[in-house]
Structure 1
Amino acid sequence: MSKQNKEYYKETMQLMEELGQAIPQTMATYNRLHRVATEDGALSFKVKELMALGIAITVRCDGCIAYHVQQSLSAGATYEEIVETIGVAIMMGG
């Protein structure tokens, strides 16, 4: 992960922590939705994180991109899988 991406990731995690303190019930519900939506099912956690990364790219959310790159890597995604995800996102989002 690039230095810039690491900074976005750190800022995103800090913001999520601050939101958790400001609106705890909302963030607890959001976090539960995230856990349930990304758990293994017909699609693996890794595939779902790659999908989320592609969506983050198309909506141009820097913090989301940083988060989902990190989550994809943590789930075992390879450089090649991430690059192909970026390619599909570019195709779909311009």
Structure 2
Amino acid sequence: MYDMKRLGNLQTMGKLAPEAWEAFQRFDREALKDGAIPAKYKELIAVSVALTTQCPYCLELHRGRAIEAGANEREIAEAVFVAGALRAGAAITHGVHVCGNGEA
């Protein structure tokens, strides 16, 4: 199902909904460009977010962009563990909804 070649379909989507596509592209560029947070860090954040959302397209794209922005494999590996910690932490903290109702 997931094949990077499918991203070519974005062009078709863009033709079908040009205003939305152009707005998305502008937003994406603005959100990820150098600013108060350097682009390299934004791309490492994007890798972590892509791991938590489990989007294979985002993983591939943002991993490449992180490297282009100057990230190295060690930084990417640490971003992986940040994502893992957040996912594990979310599972644990959501446990308060199913445990601890006074029945110890």
TM-score relative to the length of structure 2: 0.75
Amino acid in the other structure paired with 1:54? S
**2:58 counterpart of 1:64:** yes
Alignment of 1:30-41 (within 5 A): 30-41=24-35
Is 2:85 the partner of 1:91?
A: yes
RMSD: 1.7
Report how far residue 21 of structure 1 moved: 2.0
Give structure 2 stretches of 5+ with no counterpart.
89-104
Structure-1-length-normalised TM-score: 0.82
1:1-94 superposed matches below 5 A: 8=3, 10-11=4-5, 13-94=7-88
Greater helix fraction, Structure 1 or Structure 2: 1
- Percent identity of equivalent pairs: 30
After TM superposition, give the deviation of residue 20 of structure 1 in Å.
1.6
Give the Cα separation in 2 of the matches to 1:12 and 1:93: 28
Structure 1: 5+ residue stretches without partners: 1-6
Q: CA deviation at 1:41?
A: 1.2
**Which has the greater radius of gyration?**
2
Measure how far apart 1:12 and its partner are: 5.5
Give, in whole Å, the separation in 2 of the partners of 1:25 and 1:37.
18
State the one-letter code of the partner of 1:87.
F
